[in-house]
Amino acid sequence: MIRYALAILLVAGPAQVLAQDSTPGLELWGKIHEVFSHPRCANCHVGTDRVPMWSGPEYGAAPRPHGMNISGKGADDGANYLVCTTCHSKQNSATPHGPPGATSKGVAEWKLAPVEMQWFGKSSAEICKQFKAKESNGNREIAALAHHVTTEPLVLWAWTVESERKPPYSAKELGKIVEDWGMAGAPCPTK
């Protein structure tokens, strides 16, 4: 009987320890997901329909497709329909809820994230798996992902608005959270 109880402890014990060990990493992922699912990020991380979204408190309770029938189908910068930079210039509009701007090396740059990086409408677990998988994250290791979220001009644009519309955590804080998540084993939630 003692051997049986010991065998159960040896089998169950390591599984419990592993579950406990992933908790800090999962908490870190939760913070990353807060940013990635924020409208300033998710609205342009759309799927194969390539239709950017309008969501967030300023747009009402339900998300809706970007106005003016905007689509990135065939060209992530909208070139097949209406080029994003027609409205989105180098800087944010001074008009409340006007078109935000973004630059890369001083040039207006606005485009959708690659379809492999769709976040809009996906669960935390799905986004986490995408973010970790090199096939869908631009072939990046965790350190390169942390670098990407802290240096890429189009990513940094998300924080160039009034405080009530900014994602939680600064880009620098997000980069550190991504690094710490990687050091914690980069666990993903199951749901």
**Which residue in the block uniquely carries the two structure tokens 């089998």?**
11
**What's the pLDDT score for residue 7?**
46
**What's the pLDDT score for residue 162?**
73
Is residue 15 very low, low, confident or very high in pLDDT (cuts 50, 70, 90)?
very low
Is residue 60 very low, low, confident or very high in pLDDT (cuts 50, 70, 90)?
confident
164's CB contacts (< 8 A; 6+ apart) are: none
Packed helices 2-36 and 171-183: angle between N→C axes, nearest 10 degrees: 160
Q: Which residues pair with 64 in a beta bridge?
A: 54
Give 87's Cβ-side CA count (13 Å radius).
14
Q: Which of 11-20, 110-119, 147-156 has the highest mean pLDDT?
A: 147-156
The pTM of this model reads 0.80
Mean pLDDT taken over the chain: 82
Is residue 9 very low, low, confident or very high in pLDDT (cuts 50, 70, 90)?
very low
Q: What is the pLDDT of residues 169-189, one digit of tens each?
A: 999 999 999 999 999 999 999
The better pLDDT of the pair 164, 36 is held by: 36
28 and 174 Cβ atoms separated by less than 8 Å: no
The better pLDDT of the pair 95, 39 is held by: 39
Report CA torsion sign: 84, 33, 56, 172.
negative
d(CA 62, CA 180): 34
SS3 64: strand
